[in-house]
Amino acid sequence: MTATLAETRTNSADDGGVSSDSTEGPRADRPRRRSFTPEYKAAIVAEYDALAEPGARGALLRREGLYSSHIVEWRRARDAGALDGLARSGGRGGKDRDKAEIERLRKRAERAEAELERTRAALDLVGKAHALLEMLSESAGTRRESKR
């Protein structure tokens, strides 16, 4: 005789509730996200790039528990100089972030000023076109009146 799903649940040791003997809360055994140092990232990318044998790169990824997307992301960071900068500084690099933010805001302001100039030129053009049309409609209106 086979047990039903409800019978299986009532007979199991795990009733779905939170056990009272847990001192750290209900999710104490939850895995934590891994973090990698810049030195580790640089070493893995260098080792990955050095491998040329078939299957060697996959073996490296399996050995380290990584995905190819990690390598792609870390290679981009390395090419942008982010891994070297983090490995050297040892700090947060607040001045570099501030400079980058200032540069980003400066470019944004330049784009906004250029757009403002285009808008002003378009408004000027529309104003001139309106004045021209108004002048034409007035002259057309006086001609009609003179014919009558």
Over the chain, what is the mean pLDDT?
78
Q: How many helices (H) and strands (E) does the chain have?
A: 6, 0
Average pLDDT, integer, range 7-14: 46
Q: At residue 139, does pLDDT exceed 60? A: yes
Q: In whole angstroms, what separates CA 21 from the centre of its chain? A: 42
In which residue are the tokens 């996959």 written? 58
Tokens, residue 58: 């996959």
CA atoms within 13 A on the CB side of 41: 23
Average pLDDT, integer, range 70-82: 87
Tokens, residue 97: 């972030």
> pTM (2 decimals)?
0.39
pLDDT per residue over 116-131, tens digit each? 999 999 999 999 999 9
